[in-house]
Chain A
Amino acid sequence: MKSKVLVITSGKGGVGKTTTTANLGTALAMLGKKVVMLDTDIGLRNLDVVMGLENRIVFDIVDVVNGNCKIKQALIKDKRFEGLCLLPAAQTKDKTAVTPHQMKNLTNELRKDFDFILVDCPAGIEQGFKNAISGADDAIVVATPEISSVRDADRIIGLLEAAGLSNSKLIINRMRHKMVKRGDMMDIDDILDILSINLLGVVPEDEAIVVSTNRGEPAVLETTSRAGDAYRRIARRLTGEDLPIDSLEDSVNLMDRFKKLLKLAR
């Protein structure tokens, strides 16, 4: 299989880029893929904390691009999955420590050894964003069902298109179906209407995410987590499986599905 470089971006901060990266990376590794996650949020690194790998960091992405160490030395093997690696960002430098050209070389180098290269993009549209998208084949845009997030996602999609990444896919994160039903939250169609890109998945709001993030264990490892389940399905879609966006992701619970069926029968 040809390896894929996917950048996970959003424009707005706090919508779940890092959580999505950690969970998709882990879910893809669970499917037996070789995955490396790149944290490009230099100066504000988080991915290592979310993955629970913070205490293993010796070298970081800046050391790699500056030639202070080899890529293999800086890659941190996940404690749970053999095929999962993390390349952490530097914490004591800033975004300008890496250039887009260096990022491109780095991702090309990583292509040799991995099936999926997930690039966790920093918030914003400045240097860090430009670094993260250079060298990417496709982008995954994360948005929450809020007008501000959708607005930023729209801007990001425009910038991605300008950079030649026209096949971006959307993950709607922190969806609360009950609120949508009440008409208090944008629904999937509203968002797709504005952004008009392909939907990769919908992740429901889930308290388990907070718990798992604090523990350094991605939610996909938790079989009971609804968000984790959504991420597992997204990962299967990324490997080329054709899964419909429905069931657990789309309806609140089984009761609702029954009700729907009853309505149809009538």
Chain B
Amino acid sequence: MSVEVTPEGRGAELVINLKAWGSFADMKAELERNLTTIDSYLMGSMVSIDVGNKSITERQLREMEDILLEHGFHMKELINGEEPRSDPGRLRIYQGSEEAENPVSNNTTLIYRSLRSGQKYRSEGNMVVLGDINPGAEVIAGGNILVMGALKGIAHAGAYGDESAVIAAYRLNPIQLRIANHITRPPDGENIVVNTPELAKIRAGKVVIEKLKI
């Protein structure tokens, strides 16, 4: 049985294990087959997919997400790699094979879509978002965060304490910015509209925002 249901005292969490399947086509077929066997009362649940240590591209991930959605499930996370997970809810989309030995290194995670309210992504390395981060969405990275769109939610760079981490966005208009253990929010009552890319970093113990110069 490759579908595990772990009740954990609060709702069911589904984990679909696709480790045993070599090609992506096989994995997709197996995923489809598994989803049809899951009871309909679990519909709407969050599903995690365990692919072992095969590398999955962003496109493949989205294909799998589409399959889940067709069957009425949501993707919770992609379990990729064999190392024990210290923090649940982490999603590693792409893991460079040469760096598989050391996951806390300079991996960069690419998220090729916009994040909506309630979606939360974590990465131990850097994170690049090709899309917007809407209010209520959250990204957390051990390294730097680059948003090629509007950052309107929460971003936490240097989550393991790296004060040199930066957050850059095409439009920086966040609810909150967090770098290492600093938390800032925009001042009350002021609505500053800036139409240029900006960068946030820590200078002299404070989070400062400056124009992004390239």
Contact = CB atoms under 8 A, between A and B. Distances in A.
A43 B183 contact: no
A56 B185 contact: yes
Contacts of A56: 185
B198 to A, nearest CB: 17
A79 B186 CA distance: 14
A57 B154 CA distance: 10
B118 A43 contact: yes
Contacts of B175: 54-55
A91 B186 contact: no
Contacts of A79: 188
Nearest to B187: A55
Interface string B1-37: 0000000001100000000000000000000000000
Interface string A67-107: 00000000000010000000000011010110100000000
Nearest to A98: B10
B119 interface: yes
Contact of A94 (B11, B117, B176, B185): B11
Contacts of A91: 117-118, 136, 138
Contact of B118 (A92, A96, A99): A92
A243 interface: no
A54 B138 CA distance: 13
A55 B136 contact: no
Query: Among the interface residues B11, B46, B119, B183, which one has the most CB atoms of the partner chain A within 10 A?
Result: B11
Nearest to A54: B175
B54 interface: no
A65 B130 CA distance: 35
A196 to B, nearest CB: 36
A92 B188 contact: no
B86 to A, nearest CB: 15
B183 A96 contact: no
Interface string B174-203: 011000000101101000000000000000
B120 A57 contact: no
A194 interface: no
B155 to A, nearest CB: 13
A58 interface: yes
Contact of A55 (B11, B119, B186): B186
Contact of A99 (B10, B120, B176, B185): B10
A92 B138 contact: yes
Given A55-B186, A91-B118, A96 B10 contact: yes
Interface in B43-68: 46
B176 A55 contact: yes
B135 interface: yes
Interface string A169-190: 0000000000000000000000
Interface string A22-57: 000000000000000000000111000000101111
A5 to B, nearest CB: 23
Interface of A: 43-45, 52, 54-58, 79, 91-92, 94, 96-97, 99
Given A44-B118, A91-B136, 13 more contacts: A45-B136, A54-B135, A55-B176, A56-B185, A57-B176, A58-B183, A79-B188, A92-B89, A92-B118, A92-B138, A94-B46, A96-B11, A97-B10
19 contacts: A44-B118, A52-B188, A54-B175, A55-B175, A55-B185, A57-B176, A79-B188, A91-B118, A91-B136, A91-B138, A92-B89, A92-B119, A92-B120, A92-B138, A94-B46, A96-B10, A96-B11, A97-B11, A99-B10
Interface of B: 10-11, 46, 89, 117-120, 135-136, 138, 175-176, 183, 185-186, 188
